[in-house]
Amino acid sequence: MKTGLLLLQSIATSTRGCRTVLPTALSTFQTYAFDSSSSSSSGCHAKVGAAAYAAAGLIGGTSTVVLCSNDDGSNNSSSSNIKKAIPVRKSIDDPLHILQHNPSLPFPESSIKHDTYNGVTLDVTKVPQLSDASATDSSTFGEMLSNALNIWSDEGRRGIWIRIPTSHAHLIGSATKLGFDFQHAEPGTCVLTKWLPKDSESRLPNGPSHQVGVGVLVLHPLTGKMLAVQERTGPAAARKLWKMPTGLTDPGEDIAAAAIRELKEETGLDVEFDKIICFRQAHGGLFNRSDMFFVCLCKLAPKYETLVKQGGEIELLPQEEEILCADWIDMEDYAVQGVWTQSPLYKEMNRAMIDAARKGIEYSSSEDGDEAHGFVSKVLPVGFRPGSNAIYVSSKL
């Protein structure tokens, strides 16, 4: 006898005595079992709850579930055999159970998406009545949205989200008149939200609060000097400051990938990500956003070490639009620049960088890697849904 997901993984060749038992409560998991040694599903003992639906959302494809009519697995006529096909959740934010579309809603089912927080997202581009950018169109949307809000309130919905592309920007005013406010905006789209429960404060998340930046420490394979640049514009340029190559991550870009890309763009060099040495959090930046800045140690590609051992020089190709010059400088000279010595924060950051390069170059991949400190990157499958994420763990663990 095996329990749990086996019921979802295989269906016996015979399904005598089975019919659908729809779960009445999807908030709890119930135990069920399947006798895999039998060619008949009469060995199935089940009152199936949310487990079947949850499991279907965590595996690929469509899962077919056969549910028995009696707890003892007794047979009924084969005409009562029913197989329940459960579609896979496309996102972890999708609800575990299938929600029936309310036909009273003025918006088509294709334009509405439910989430696991009892919220609703409306895609206005999928509403046929909203195809024209006119005042009539905006008025129509206001009436439709008002009716929908009443229905969603009666249903106990919580957060309502509306994605409005630039092509439908004329609808924004109608939404704000009904209590919607901006959650965030990006090129081509803005998102508005409204919290429906009147007896509680909004639990909807704020818009994006942080930008993520990287600084790249690269050491010369023979001299141990660090690669530094002077920028053409910005606060560092005004101080004629030597700094490590830096930049912001792109949307959907891992820290390790951003470090490799930024260095290539600013200096033309190819590197391999080794580890995060340290990171800094700051607040009150551009548009009052916070900033996460990761100092990354990267190792030059093997071709450069071969080149310098043969007496060649590493060619630096400063990015013409942003970088005035690039060069290899002593780390101690870098750390004693006036602006750095006046800052306890940057003195600590520079100390961490120098410490990372002590006793020569201690990369995590080297034979002496056990002595190296920092956070190395591991890109691993999520497992319960498609895709992989990067996790940064201490190189000492």
Please tell me whether residue 235 adopts helix, strand or coil conformation: helix
Pairing of strands 112-114, 120-123: antiparallel
Residues in the chain: 397
Phi/psi-derived region of residue 291, left when phi > 0, alpha when psi is between -120 and 50, beta in every other case: beta
Question: What gap in Å lies between CA 299 and CA 278, rounded to an integer?
Answer: 16
Enter the DSSP assignment of 40.
B
Per-residue tens of pLDDT for the chain, all 397 residues:
433 333 333 323 333 333 333 333 333 333 333 333 333 433 343 333 333 333 333 334 443 344 434 444 444 434 444 444 444 555 555 665 567 889 999 999 999 999 999 999 999 999 988 876 666 688 899 999 999 999 999 999 999 999 999 999 999 999 999 999 999 999 999 999 999 999 999 999 988 889 999 999 999 999 999 999 999 999 899 999 999 999 999 999 999 999 999 999 999 999 999 999 999 999 988 888 899 999 999 999 999 999 999 999 999 999 999 999 999 999 999 999 988 888 899 999 999 999 887 744 556 555 554 555 688 888 899 888 898 998 888 876 5
Question: What gap in Å lies between CA 236 and CA 374, rounded to an integer?
Answer: 27
Can you give the pLDDT at residue 68? Answer: 39
Q: Which residue has the tokens 């600013």?
A: 266
Take residue 270 and report the two structure tokens written for it: 């190819």
Can you give the pLDDT at residue 13? Answer: 31
Question: What gap in Å lies between CA 26 and CA 135, rounded to an integer?
Answer: 44
Annotated catalytic residue within 155, 265, 272, 322: 265
Could you count the other beta carbons within 10 Å of the beta carbon of residue 174? 19
Pairing of strands 181-186, 246-248: unpaired
Question: What gap in Å lies between CA 73 and CA 47, rounded to an integer?
Answer: 11
Partners of 377 in beta bridges: 392
**pTM, rounded to two decimals:** 0.68
Contact (CB, 8 A) for 373 and 395: yes
Helix and strand numbers, DSSP H then E, in the chain: 10, 17
Can you give the pLDDT at residue 362? Answer: 56
Check if 265 is active-site: yes
Can you give the pLDDT at residue 95? Answer: 60
Residue 120 identity (one-letter amino acid): V
